[in-house]
Amino acid sequence: MNACNSTTIENGTELGKNYSAYALVFGSVMTLGLPLNAVSLWILVRSHGLKSPSAVFMVNLAISDLLLVLSLPTRVYFYATCTWPLSQVACIFVTMLFRNNIRSSSIFITFICVDRLLAVVYPLRSRHLRTSSNASKAAALVWLFVLAVNIPESVIFSRFLKNNNISLCFEFQSGPESPLNYLLPVLVFILLAVNVVCTTLVSRALRSHLTDSARVSNKVNVMLIFVMNLMMFIVFFLPLSLAVLIESWRPAFTSLICLASVNCCLDPLLYYFSFDGFWRRKEDVDSSHAME
Q: Is the pLDDT of residue 1 over 50?
A: no
CB 124 within 8 A of CB 212: yes
Residue with more model confidence, 128 or 26: 26
* Backbone angle region of 24, left / alpha / beta, with phi > 0 → left and psi within -120 to 50 → alpha: alpha
Q: Per-residue pLDDT tens for 230-260? A: 999 999 999 999 988 888 887 888 899 999 9
Position 119 scores a pLDDT of 86
Residue 216 CA to chain centroid, in angstroms? 28
Q: What length does the chain have? A: 292
Following DSSP, what letter does each residue of 131-169 receive, concatenated?
Answer: -HHHHHHHHHHHHHHHHHHHHHHHHHHHHHHHHS-GGGG
Mean of all residue pLDDT scores within the chain: 81
pLDDT (mean) for 269-278: 66
CB 119 within 8 A of CB 130: yes
- pLDDT over 90 percentage in the chain: 43
Q: Per-residue pLDDT tens for 187-245? A: 999 999 999 999 999 888 887 765 454 455 667 778 888 999 999 999 999 999 998 88
Q: Is the pLDDT of residue 54 over 50?
A: yes
Q: Is the pLDDT of residue 14 over 50?
A: no
Q: Is the pLDDT of residue 84 over 80?
A: yes
Q: What's the Cα-to-Cα distance from 5 to each of 95, 168, 235, 255, rounded to whole Å?
A: 22, 12, 32, 19
Domain residue limits at 143: 3-291
Residue with more model confidence, 76 or 120: 76
- pLDDT over 70 percentage in the chain: 80
Burial class for 12, CB neighbours closer than 10 Å (0-12, 13-18, 19+)? exposed
Q: Is the pLDDT of residue 11 over 70?
A: no
Number of domains composing the chain: 1
Q: Is the pLDDT of residue 12 over 50?
A: no
Give the integer Cα–Cα distance in Å for 154 and 131: 35
Q: Is the pLDDT of residue 10 over 60?
A: no
Q: Is the pLDDT of residue 175 over 60?
A: no
Q: Is the pLDDT of residue 85 over 90?
A: no
Residue with more model confidence, 169 or 22: 22
Give 30's pLDDT tier (boundaries 50, 70, 90): very high
Position 194 scores a pLDDT of 96
CATH code assigned at 117? 1.20.1070.10
Position 276 scores a pLDDT of 53
Confidence (pTM) = 0.85
